Structure 1
Amino acid sequence: MLEDMAFLSLFLEWTIGHLHLIQLTWESSSYAMPLGSLYFVFAWNIFKTVYSHSPLSFVFGAIWTCCDLVIIYLTIRNLRRPDNPDFLTSPSFKQHLIPILAMIFLFWVTSILIAISQFGEVSLYWAGVFLSFFMSVSFILMGLSRRSSRQQHEHIILSKVAVSALLVWYSAMRFDNLYMALNIFYLSIPLDVVYLVVLEWFKEPRFKEVLSAPASPVETKEQASSA
């Protein structure tokens, strides 16, 4: 009963996080989730669905995987838009976007497959806890690289914290091994706090002004007449 409650709570919170990511990506010309984390989550959700132990777990995993596909589609669409503000200093990245993203996805799939073959199904749950730590770092790097709060929201990181806590609880009940999971979880919590501080910092007016500035100088009437 407790296991079902834990997984149901995890499903609801993780689903809300996915839907919020879809909304942020749909309404923008950029992406709302770091690409490495996005494909890590996608790979993890696929394996979580394949290794489901109940119809309910399978349905939830399938819903998350479908949400990931929507986010990936919107992310690729936005990265190909002419007004996309990302990777302006790395045009080759966009030229080879699909192969690069495919390699990122294959890396995570291969890593999870190797872990499962070596350590069994329990490694899938450790991968989920490590995913929380990896996402914490990647969200901080994304915020710092953008120097703004665009396409970012506190609910995403708070949803991740809640899901990580529930995942630790769920793993402890299922595998009776809590020590390592708690250590990784405790490592990610300070990073999540750092990200929230960074996000609030970039919401200050001075950063909003930089974000809203035109991409190229606007020529005034006086400048045009003197030219």
Structure 2
Amino acid sequence: MPSTASALSSATLPGGLVALPGVYQPQADTRLLAAALAHEDLGPRTELLEIGTGTGALALHAAVRGARVTAVDVAWPAVVTARLNAWIHRLPLRVLHGDFEARTTGRRFDVVVSNPPYVPAPDGRLPSRGPERAWDAGLDGRAVIDRICGGAPALLRPGGILLMVHSAMCGAEETLDRLAGAGLAARVTATASVPWGPVLRSRRSWLEQRGLAAEAEEREELVVIRARRT
């Protein structure tokens, strides 16, 4: 059975993180994913990739445990922020700018971690700038999730693990089905119910019209999905 929101209080992330303007700062989804990552066996022989690193919180969480970490983000402010936080914490972190598939061509990892953009947005196009890049993900919120599902087999070594967090609003079952179709054994390992943030509240009418949210809904379910390449 998936663990629940109690994991949020036990998640450990590096303190004293800085963030340039517009960079997504660690929130409930970050902490839930950190708690899931804490259950994985990491060490000096572990090569880990974080897709969409933001402040670098999760990448640093893994580096503290000895993993060799590569972090990728499409936004330059996030890349600079993650590099700065790695320098502040004196931790080795390779932070790359660009698309995760383009920047990792030919490489495979033991663990891939991602807190991708997953908020449904009225504009189906992915934003090319601004803080919205960290959360807007197309009409159904799956624009980046689906790319990760499709790309995971090429990124993982045999036995490698993908850990990804997103809103249940995007369809956890669809994620599981896509991962299974890609040849990975996947399941939901943790969930948490959190209050709606300002972005969801600002889109309430649109979300209700599309059937993505019930009337007067005030809480969002987060899910962590763990997939293993056999």
Higher normalized strand content (fraction of residues): 2
- Normalized against structure 1, the TM-score is what? 0.34
- Normalized against structure 2, the TM-score is what? 0.34
Highest Rg: 1 or 2?
1
Higher normalized helix content (fraction of residues): 1
